[in-house]
């Protein structure tokens, strides 16, 4: 499994983590931002009025209100990416990575507008009376090629099938398995709750919600999303109030190293400009999913008599998800000081690397060598052989890296006793089964544990960790709910409505099992499925750019006729 995971990570190096994907994602957002004359700014206020229901009609067709569609889509995006993803981006790229997350979100507001407009325009009513939509529908209807002899090459249908299949895989890899695994780990670490029990209870609740379809999902998420946001904001602002003196310096650190990268500071060894933008853009997409094509599936069910109004609602998603929530998380991490501080923790084997020589993270030479190694510019020799352990202390003269930092105060235990013996290492990685062995020491942290540590440095003290755990529970569970709907719509497109019940059964069972299973490989699969969804969707958006523009122009013509009292200069 380790080799399979390494293969997937290597494959992602050519896909989502490669510079071409970053250029494609940002390039699409930049193109439509200028092509449509900055709709994310000009239409922002109008989008809020639509969500409030100001322009609703009684005969609008759909299964949910604008607000319910927005909260359903938000519940799919507001999740571990907001708690763990921001921490991971800053861990890799420093404060500058947060800037690139925000840039991705700003451009993503336009991308969401375009993809939701197209998907809503070509949605369909299924035989059971519900609405089904998403990129696969506009692809199959508008991206086929008609030859001069009248024959049609069904390229659009092929792209639609490809996208739908990737959506089903991603519903497990992004929306279900890693989410419950994160919940179960957090509940066990914070409250000591049995992972099987947590998985069982939440699997039953998940099954109860998703069996009711989009209407029940929308009712749950419309209440869950605002509630979980309030809880999270209370904890975040408690941190900011406690560390108010660091807020302005933290904001400055985000913008001062945008094009130069973040220099070494504290336990953070440094990150180049390229590394910061790569991680920032990657985490930005994972957080708000702009361009991925998932949110349009939820918005397609919204009640509206034309598609542009729902596209305008979607503008608000990246703003709420990334520009607001992720920014607050980023400021919490930076102002609390935990992001570059070595903290005592139990080491994870996947984050551990044993170097062949000794390096210092307090001297320029060591910092430069380690930084080049960590960003992949110039690899350092790694250790192969046996680590000699006496009373828990490593006797070899070498450096152990954990979480991209030089680990200190390392002690190795067997149960509660200090360990004496040898540990086998090959190519820098511990190869033998650790069993009861635990490695504890001081190093940087990342993902949800880092955010948890930041929330403890607030007015609430150690109680802050419970806010993160509860927030993670609500965020991740709501993500699993929404992605079950995305997967079911993809199943409907591929196999018809009768296939949904089988999908839901597998979805709930897999959700339960993932609570106590290792989902590392699932996370790696999700990195690839995100790309498989995003690329055909972005291609389709660009191919239909003229149609999008004319559809928007017609919307404003009709709007001014129906609402002459609204003297809004929008076009």
Q: Dihedral, CA atoms, 75, 78, 80, 81, nearest 10 degrees?
A: 140
pLDDT of the residue at 23: 86
List the beta bridge partners of residue 346: 440
Q: Are residues 330 and 392 in the same domain?
A: no
Domain span at residue 123?
2-341+456-562
The verdict on 462 and 436 lying in the same domain is no
CA nearest neighbour of 465 among 475, 478, 476, 450: 450
Determine the average pLDDT of the residues in 10-32: 85
529 shares a domain with 500: yes
User: What whole-number distance in Å separates Cα of residue 199 and Cα of residue 322?
Assistant: 28
Q: What's residue 256's pLDDT?
A: 85
In angstroms, rounded to a whole number, what is the distance separating the alpha carbons of residues 442 and 366?
18
CATH code assigned at 95? 1.20.1740
pLDDT single digits (tens) 466-505: 888 888 888 888 888 889 989 999 999 999 989 999 999 9
Q: Would 76 be classed as within a structural domain? A: yes
- Residue 76, pLDDT > 70, answer no
Residue 262 included in any domain = yes
| Contacts of 344 by beta carbon, 8 Å cutoff, 6+ apart | 409, 440, 441, 442
pLDDT band at 377 (very low <50, low <70, confident <90, very high): confident
Q: Do 121 and 174 belong to one domain?
A: yes
pLDDT 10s digits, 110-120: 999 999 999 99
- Backbone phi, psi, residue 218, to 5°: -65, -40
Element (H, E) at 346: strand 343-346
Domain end call among 413, 443, 473: 443
Task: Copy the structure tokens of residue 116.
Answer: 């939701």
Instruction: Give CA–CA dist 245/250, Å, rounded.
Output: 9
- CA angle 516–522–527, rounded 5-degree value: 150
> What average pLDDT does range 154-170 have in this prediction?
92
Could you give the strand order of the β-sheet that contains 393-394, starting from the edge strand earlier in sequence? 393-394, 385-390, 421-426, 429-430
Contacts of 384 (CB under 8 A, 6+ apart): 356, 425, 426, 427, 428
Q: Could you tell me the pLDDT band of residue 53, with boundaries at 50, 70 and 90?
A: confident
Does 399 map to a domain? yes
Which of 443, 476, 509 is a domain's end point?
443
Is residue 148 domain-shared with residue 206, that is, in the same domain? yes
DSSP 304: B
Q: What ranges make up the beta strands (E) of 368-473?
A: 385-390, 393-394, 400-402, 405-406, 408-414, 417-418, 421-426, 429-430, 437-443
> Are 46 and 29 contained in the same domain?
yes
Regarding whether 41 and 98 lie in a shared domain, the answer is yes
In percent, how much of the chain has pLDDT > 70?
96
On whether residue 569 sits in a domain, the answer given is no
248: pLDDT confidence band, cut at 50, 70 and 90? very high
Tens of pLDDT, residue by residue over 184-220, are 877 887 788 899 999 999 999 999 888 877 778 878 8
Q: Of 383, 416, 443, which residue sits at a domain end?
A: 443
Which has the minimum average pLDDT: 232-246, 266-280, 545-559?
266-280
| pLDDT recorded at residue 35 | 97
Is 568 inside any structural domain?
Answer: no
Average pLDDT over residues 382-400: 94
What average pLDDT does the segment 148-170 reach?
A: 89
* CA pair distance 483, 475, nearest whole angstrom: 12
Same domain, 306 and 258: yes
Q: Which of 321, 285, 273 is nearest to 95 (CA)?
A: 273
In a domain, 58, yes or no: yes
Query: pLDDT-derived band of residue 571, with 50, 70 and 90 as boundaries?
Result: very low
Is the pLDDT at 570 greater than 60? The verdict is no
CA neighbor of 457 nearest in space, from 332, 327, 324, 326: 332
Q: Is residue 292 domain-resident? A: yes
The values of phi and psi at residue 160, to 5°, are -65, -45
Co-location of 415 and 273 in the same domain: no
Query: Are 356 and 370 contained in the same domain?
Result: yes
Rounded CA separation 485/115 (Å): 18
Q: Mean pLDDT across the chain, nearest whole number?
A: 87
Confidence at residue 228, expressed as pLDDT on a 0 to 100 scale: 79
pLDDT at 415 over 80: yes
Range from 28-37, 308-317, 474-483, 532-541 carrying the lowest mean pLDDT: 474-483
Same domain, 30 and 172: yes
Query: Is beta strand 343-346 parallel, antiparallel or unpaired with respect to 429-430?
Result: unpaired
Decide if pLDDT at 549 tops 80: yes
Higher pLDDT pick, 41 / 222: 41
Residues 111 and 30 in one domain: yes
Residue 29 lies inside a defined structural domain of this protein: yes
Domain tally for the chain? Answer: 2
pLDDT given at position 568: 61
């Amino acid at each position: 499994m380790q080799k399979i995971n390494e293969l997937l990570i290597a494959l992602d190096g050519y896909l989502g983590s490669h510079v071409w994907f970053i250029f494609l994602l940002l390039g699409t957002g930049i193109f439509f931002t200028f092509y449509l004359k900055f709709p994310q700014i000009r239409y922002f206020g109008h989008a809020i009025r639509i969500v409030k229901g100001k322009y609703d009609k009684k005969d609008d067709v759909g299964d949910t209100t604008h607000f319910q569609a927005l909260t359903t889509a938000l519940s799919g995006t507001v999740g571990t990416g907001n708690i763990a993803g921001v921490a991971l981006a800053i861990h890799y790229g420093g404060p500058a990575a947060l800037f690139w997350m925000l840039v991705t979100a700003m451009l993503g507001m336009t991308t969401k507008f375009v993809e939701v407009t197209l998907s809503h325009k070509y949605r369909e009513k299924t035989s059971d009376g519900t609405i089904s939509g998403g990129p696969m529908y506009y692809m199959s209807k508008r991206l086929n090629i008609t030859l001069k002899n009248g024959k049609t090459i069904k390229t659009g249908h092929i792209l639609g099938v490809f996208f739908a299949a990737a959506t089903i895989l991603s519903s497990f890899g992004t929306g279900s398995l890693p989410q419950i695994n994160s919940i179960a780990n957090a509940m066990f670490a914070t409250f000591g709750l049995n992972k099987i029990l947590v998985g069982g209870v939440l699997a039953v609740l998940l099954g109860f919600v998703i069996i009711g379809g989009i209407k029940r999902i929308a009712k749950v998420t419309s209440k869950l999303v605002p509630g979980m946001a309030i809880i999270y904001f209370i904890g975040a602002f408690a941190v900011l109030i406690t560390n108010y003196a660091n807020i302005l310096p933290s904001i400055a650190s985000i913008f001062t190293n945008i094009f130069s990268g973040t220099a070494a500071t504290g336990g953070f060894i440094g990150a180049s400009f390229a590394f910061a933008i790569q991680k920032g853009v990657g985490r930005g997409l994972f957080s708000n999913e702009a361009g991925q094509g998932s949110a349009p599936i939820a918005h397609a069910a919204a009640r509206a008599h034309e598609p542009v109004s729902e596209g305008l609602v979607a503008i608000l998603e990246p703003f709420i998800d990334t520009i607001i929530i992720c920014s607050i998380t980023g400021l919490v991490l930076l102002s609390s000081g935990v992001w570059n501080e070595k903290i005592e923790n139990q080491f994870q084997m996947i984050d551990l690397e044993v170097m062949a020589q000794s390096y210092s993270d307090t001297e320029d030479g060591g910092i430069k060598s380690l930084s080049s190694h960590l960003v992949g510019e110039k690899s350092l020799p790694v250790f192969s052989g046996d680590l000699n352990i006496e009373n828990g202390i490593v006797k070899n003269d070498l450096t152990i890296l954990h979480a991209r930092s030089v680990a200190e105060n390392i002690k190795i235990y067997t149960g509660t006793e200090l360990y004496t013996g040898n540990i086998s290492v090959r190519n820098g990685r511990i190869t033998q089964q650790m069993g009861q062995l635990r490695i504890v020491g001081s190093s940087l942290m990342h993902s949800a544990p880092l955010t948890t540590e930041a929330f403890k440095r607030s007015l609430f003290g150690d109680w802050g960790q419970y806010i993160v755990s509860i927030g993670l529970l609500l965020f991740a569970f709501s993500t699993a709910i929404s992605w079950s709907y995305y997967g079911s719509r993809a199943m409907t497109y591929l196999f018809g409505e009768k296939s949904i019940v089988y999908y839901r059964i597998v979805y709930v069972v897999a959700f339960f099992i993932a609570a106590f299973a290792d989902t590392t490989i699932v996370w790696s699969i999700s990195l690839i499925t995100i790309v498989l969804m995003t690329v055909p969707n972005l291609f389709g958006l660009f191919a239909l750019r003229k149609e999008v523009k004319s559809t928007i122009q017609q919307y404003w013509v009709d709007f001014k006729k129906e609402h002459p009292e609204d003297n809004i200069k929008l076009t």
